[in-house]
Every structure is written in structure tokens, then in C-alpha cells.
Structure 1
Amino acid sequence: MTTPPYDPATLSPTPSPALPEDHEVTAPPALPDATGPAPQAPPAEPPRPAPVRDRYFDLLRAVALFRVVFYHLMGWAWLPVVFPSMGVMFALAGNLMARSLQRPAVRVVRGRMRRLLPPLWLLGAVGVTGMLVQGWGPDAEGHPAWWWLHLLYWVVPLSDPPYAEGLPGLHGIVGEDWATELAGPLWYIRAYLWYVLLSPFLLKALRSLPWATILSPVALAAALEFGWLHIPYGRIDSAVTDFSTFGACWILGMAHQQGILARLPRYVVPSLAPFVAAFGLWYALTHGFKEGHDLDDIPFAQSLWSLATVALLLHISPSWTQWPRRLRRWDRLITLLNSRAVTIYLWHNVCILVAATVWDDLWNIDTLADHEAWLLDSPWPVLALAWSLVALCIVAFGWAEDLAAKRRPRLWPDSPAAARGSTGTRRHRT
């Protein structure tokens, strides 16, 4: 091999003589690779599309949440018939859980628990502290040896967390027995946790025996209702009863995500669901509904009515990626309700109690009592005041949901980015 001649003045290679314009320059032949052909780089995987929210599901969740607050204030027994909120909320959660289980089950379950529990811990930190300050303790529960152990249910609610009953309130601010109202929504957290833990097994059963799996909770509800199955221990009985009542809705949501419902002929669900709903309503009417009880007091009827209603709502399912024109004005409100669903559900009972207590205290003003009694008797101002207090709870406690989801905390998450659970970078939904 020769080196190019150097110009001694510049120590740089001397230029080569110019080639004629018609001279063809050819590349030197490639030398054979002694080790064989060069390995080719594997083709780059296409980027995974960012998850797209189903705005129809967001609408259902927002309506369900509003109906829960409305019902707990008004107490109208027909409201759960018009819209069975709990069945709808469990179905939407089951749908999301089935989608998440495309990833390892342990990771998904851990992620769901991480999102669910911190808002509960914040509620417990406030509530249990208040109960202890007002004298609640082992003697009040009658089992001092186990009392502290039962407090662990405020950490992982595999059963109903303990709470004090009959506590005095704060005059003019919080009514009596406030701890009972605070603990009222906790059954939903406990039921949700059990559904999450059972979902990997339910999904396997659903893929093997879809309709037997969907209808098994209803069969369990019938066995409990007609006395074919008796569970003596109260804590286990409450968990089994909740599973039998709303388990079919959770599994139906999973079946919708897995495409099982889509494989049915389009006429099947609209043809069968009304008969199931009618039977559930007939059973409710003949077993206490007219005597002031609601569907929550008749689990078997609730399971049938919720199953039929959820089946119809999932059958309609337009799968909106964007809002229809008529609903765009509600985008920010619906986004807020979805972003703070757990906070609203956990705190709304206390907000209603405070609103009712403050409003009732206005009867002590003689002018209002004498001339505006109709206004003091109206529940609508209490509803407005309750939602105002819910808004304060969103600001005061809602950040726990952001921390649980590993998002940047926000005081008022009503933007579409908050609904997507994103802060500018794509995250997996768990």
C-alpha cells in the first residue's frame, strides 16, 4: 500500500491530476467478509398507539356518579331503577380491567390497588382521627383484643373497615352519627378490591365458559335469596352478597372488552334483556319494593335489573373517540367527574350530611322560618350546597388520585389531558 505524495510546504497530500469529464469513476469491488454476511438489524417495531378514551364510557361513569349523589340526598327508591349506577360503574371497571390484563396479571393488580387505596387512606386518616378524638376505642367495639387488628381494614379493605356509631356531631356543621355516613361508601371500595383480585381468574373462566361465567353471580344471588346457601359469618356474607349482586356486571364489562358480546347476533341482547329486567322488577315489586325498600335491599332483583340494563348499555356502545356535537359543552364537567371519581364517591356522603346540617340550622332564624319555610323544606338548595362541598373536597383531597396514578397533582383536573391520565408523556393504564 502506497501513501499519497505530500507537499513539503503544507504537509498535505498533493492534489491528483484532474480526470477527463468522460472518465467513469467506479467504486472498488467490495471485499468478501471472512465472517459471512453482515447481520441485518431487526426491523424497528412500529410505535404503539396511545390509548384512546371511550367518551361514551366517560359519559356513563359521570351520569352514574351524579345519580349516586342525587339518590343519597333525595332517597327516591325509583332512582336505582331509572339508572342502576353501581352496576354500570362495576361494568365499566371490569371492561378496563380486562383491557389491562393484556399485561402480566400481578403488575395489573398491583397497579389497580395502587390507584384505589391512597384515596381511602386519606379518608381514613381524617375519619379515624376524628373518631378517636371523640372517644372511639376498643371498649366501644366490645372486642379490645382484636380492635387494633381490625383497623388494618382501613389499609387494605378486604372487609368493611370498622367505624364508630352514634358519635355526636359538631353543632351547626356536622350532624350526629357522622362516622356512619363517612363509612357508607366503603362497601364499594371493598367490593372493587375483591373484583380486582379475582379478575385474572374470572378472565380465564370467561374465555373458557363465557356464559356460565357471566351468569354464575346471578345463580349465587338466587341461592342466597332462596336459602339454598347460608353463610353465617357476617364479613364473608357481605362480600359474597356484593359479588353475587354486581359480579355479573363486572364480568359483562370484561366480556364486552373481549369481544364476546360482539359475536352475538345483534337481535339477541335487545330481545332477551327486557325479559330479564321485567322479571327482576316484578320480583322487587312483590318482595318489599312497594313498602319503601329499594333495589339495594333486594339483591336478587338488583342483580337481574343491573345485568339487563348494563347489557343494553354495552350493546348500544357507540365507542366515541370524540364527543358528539351536542355533548361537547359538557366535556370539562364529565372530564372532571371521571378524573376525581374515587374522591367524589368517598366524600359525597359527608358533604351531604354537612350541607343538610347547615341548611337545617337556618330554621333557627325566625324570619326565614316564618316567611320562607318552603325554601327551607326544599332539597334543591341542599343539593347545590352539597355539590359545592364536593368541589371543595376535590381541591382538598383529589390530589391523592393523581399521586396514586403517578401523575402530577392537579387541583382541578377538567382538561382532556387529565382524563387521559397523561402529563405530556404516554403512560400505560393500569
Structure 2
Amino acid sequence: MSASFGPYPDGSFAEGSLADSTVQLRIPDAFRQAHGAAAAEAAEPGPEPAAPARKPGRDRYLDLLRALALVRVIVYHNFGWIWLPLVFPSMGVMFALAGSLMANSLKRPAWGVIRSRLRRLLPPMWLFGAIAVATMVYDGWGPNASGHPHWWWGELSFWVLPLSEPPFGAHLHGFHHLVDPTWAEQISVPLWYLRAYLWYVLLSPLLLKALRRLPWVTLLLPIALSVLINSGLVDQEGRLMEAATDFTTFGSCWLLGMAHHEGILKRLPRYVAPSIAPMILIAALWWLERAPSDNPAAGVDIEGVPVAQAVWSFGFVLMLLHLSPSWQQWPKPLERWNGLVSWLNARAVSVYLWHNVALVLSQPLIDQLWQVNFVYLHLRWLLMSQWLPLIVAIPLLVLFVTAFGWVEDVAAGRSPRLFPWPRRVRSRRRA
């Protein structure tokens, strides 16, 4: 990627460049003779004032990567296909894009940048948390549910600042068995990403300094720490180790984004990344094959093997950063997806937070269809299909994002919009 990034999740920007040129002044001979030496001096070539910098625009390649990452997450949470994280490691990609964004922003004072990132990240989570906590309490969750009333009240602070995993009701009533009793745990799954993102933001000033001094040591250090943490020599229990595991799993991807923005990766010969990335991916697969599995026939999900996921994401992201074409405009075959990609980028945090809620609520709606005789007799195959929850969840997700996504605009200091679909610009013919 030869572009610097705009604020995540709101979009990304490409770099501008100055065109340096000189113009040879041509003066008629008669004019030279009439004005003598002064005219001759004026005829010498001179530099033209520098052309104004090209106005930065959105890098559509980066927008496409972020949109693909979000879609992959939704599909994975619906189907649970273990091969999807191998085909496209969404979390590594998203952390790499955010890391590059952070490196670009740290040209300004660090504390102001951190405060800006928190202002963009936390309000959407606060709204989600207020609704989620109120709903869990209504469904039977409370201080006595965990057996530690005082801890329960203290742990609620993680819904305000997610330095650790926010608490949730592990087993509730399910609204009189209308939804699964573990619904709160299911909707809380995406919160680990916000926790990891917050720690990366807080540590980014130090990470950037270390990257500039010892780039390759800093890049590989998170993977080395991941190997150590998952070696069995370290007790992984506790909130601190949960955050440490997430940090070491995707830390190298975050640093890769920073390194690319800083131009560190550009110092490598062009053949290096395509040469070493396949070997890195093979090493990840080798580690994955060594991992124990409860169902050997189905294989091992790489998202359950932190070291393999860290290495695979690192190699995959390295190739994406190497290829990065930095599109100012969509290639013709992709123009039709401009609206969807732009909407997903403008509402990335809301889509990520609310997609599991939509999937959970799709189940009681599908259960009602079983009571319809025609559907039961003729469309039973559809009711049993894994695709139906996704089909039902998509309009629910659009509804949630439309209702709550405007908070992202307010957090970014923009005018709130219910549906940020880009307007089609019609070109006029010139006479």
C-alpha cells in the first residue's frame, strides 16, 4: 500500500504527489534584439512554480479489503466454516489497516491522537453496551448471577473502557425460551476486537518508536511472545492473559501496517515478500497440523490456535501490503460494488457490533415459519438450510445499523446520516 490512511473505520486516503517540471521560455529573435541583454536573460529556462498537491482521495483498494473483512466475519459466524479464516484472515487485515492509520495519525501529538481514536471507538460501543446490559438484566442477569456482587458492579466498568472483556450473562432465561439461553455470550463475541484495538491504540506511540529503531525485531516480537505464551510454560488464566493473547496474536499485523506506512517494507527488494510469504504460510499450516483436535475428521479451526493464526495472518497481510495497487478510482468490474463497500466502511464498527445480534434474532423468526403449514410442507428444505439464518439476519442488520450507526458520525464530528449510501455522480456532456 503506497497510501496513508484516513480514520478507521471511516475510510482511508491515498498520498498526493507534486509534479516537478520546468518550462523553456521561447522569445522571438526580434524581441531579443530590441531589448538586448535583459531580454536574453529573460529567455533563459527557469523553474515553474510547483504544481499544487493532488487532493487526497479514498483508496478504494483499502476500502475493499475492509469490506471483505467484515463480510467474511459475518459469514464465518453464521456457518462456522473453518476454512474461511485461511482463505481471508479478516482480523489480521483489519488490524493491519488500523495500524497504518495509527502510524499516519501519530504525526500529530500522541495524546491527541489517542483521544481522537477513543472518541471514535467508544460511543458506538457505549450505545451497544447500554442496550445489551439492560436487556441482559431484564432477562435475569444481575449481581447475584456471578456469585460476586461487588465484583459484578466493578466489572461493569469494562463496558465503559474495555481494557478487559466486559461481563455478560453466560446462561439466562432466553426470554421464556424464545432465544437460546446463551444469547448474551453470542452477542458479546465481537467485543474482544474492541479490547485488542484499544490496547494497540494506547501502546502505538511506543510501538512506533521501537519500530523505527529496531524494525525487524519489533515486527517479529509479538509472534515470539505468542509462541512463549502458548508453549504451556505460562498460565493463561485471568483477564491479563486474555488481553496478552489477543495482543500477541495480531500484534505483528498491526506493526506491518505501521511499517508499510513508514516505508520500511519498501526498502526490501520487490522479490523478497513474494518469496518469503509462502514459506511463512507453510509454517503456519505446519503448526496448525500439530494442534490437537476434538474432531480430527473436521480438522482444526485456525482461530482456536493462536500461534498458527498469528503466523498465517502475518504472511497473508505481508502479501496484501506488497500487492497494494492504491486505487483512486474503481476498476470497471468493481464499480457496481461502490455503494455497498462505501456503506460498510462508513458503518464498520456498527456492522461489527450488531451482526451477531441479527444472527441471534433470526432464530426465533425462523421458528415461527415452522408453524406455517405451506412453508412446513413445501419449504422444509429451506427451513433446515444454514443459509436461511443469514438471509433473515441481513435485513435485521441493516435495520440495526440504520437505527444506531449514526453514532459513528457524531463520534467523528460529522453530521449524522441514517443511511450513508454514496450518491451517483452523473457526468455532463461538454459542448
- Written as runs of structure 1 = structure 2, the 5 A alignment for 1:131-146 is 131-146=136-151
Note the alpha carbon deviations across 1:371-418, whole angstroms, 9 max, x for none. 32211111223212111111001111101101110110000112279x
Q: Is 2:363 the counterpart of 1:359?
A: no
Confirm or deny: 8 A CA contact 1:172 1:361 kept in the other structure: no
Residue 386 of structure 2, aligned match among 379, 384, 392: 379
Q: Is 2:67 the counterpart of 1:79?
A: no
Percent of counterpart pairs with the same letter? 55
- Partners of 1:181 and 1:416 in 2: CA distance: 36
Confirm or deny: 8 A CA contact 2:354 2:401 kept in the other structure: no
Q: Is 2:234 the counterpart of 1:234?
A: no
Gaps of 5+ in 2: 1-49, 425-431
- Partners of 1:274 and 1:413 in 2: CA distance: 39
Q: Which amino acid aligns with 2:138?
A: V
- Written as runs of structure 1 = structure 2, the 5 A alignment for 1:19-418 is 50-170=55-175, 174-228=179-233, 230-231=234-235, 233-288=237-292, 290=296, 291-415=298-422
Note the alpha carbon deviations across 1:13-37, whole angstroms, 9 max, x for none. xxxxxxxxxxxxxxxxxxxxxxxxx
- Partners of 2:321 and 2:411 in 1: CA distance: 29
Q: Partner of 1:364: helix, strand, or coil?
A: coil
**TM-score, normalised with respect to structure 2:** 0.83
Note the alpha carbon deviations across 1:91-135, whole angstroms, 9 max, x for none. 000011111111111000000000000000001110101111222
Q: Which amino acid aligns with 1:337?
A: L
Match for residue 36 of structure 1? Answer: none
Gaps of 5+ in 1: 1-44, 418-430
User: CA 1:161–1:185 in 2, change beyond 3 Å: closer, same or farther?
Assistant: same
Task: Return the offset for 1:333.
Answer: 0.6
Q: Partner of 1:102: helix, strand, or coil?
A: coil
Q: Which amino acid aligns with 2:238?
A: G
- Partners of 2:372 and 2:194 in 1: CA distance: 40
Confirm or deny: 8 A CA contact 1:90 1:250 kept in the other structure: yes
What is the Cα-based RMSD across aligned positions, in Å?
A: 1.9
- Partners of 1:139 and 1:49 in 2: CA distance: 60
Q: Partner of 2:58: helix, strand, or coil?
A: coil
Q: Partner of 2:370: helix, strand, or coil?
A: helix
Greater Rg by CA: 1
- Partners of 2:71 and 2:58 in 1: CA distance: 20
Q: Which moved more, 1:184-193 or 1:46-55?
A: 46-55
User: CA 1:103–1:62 in 2, change beyond 3 Å: closer, same or farther?
Assistant: same
Q: Which moved more, 1:384-393 or 1:60-69?
A: 384-393
Aligned pair count reads 372
Task: Return the offset for 1:47.
Answer: 8.2
**TM-score, normalised with respect to structure 1:** 0.83
Confirm or deny: 8 A CA contact 2:253 2:314 kept in the other structure: yes
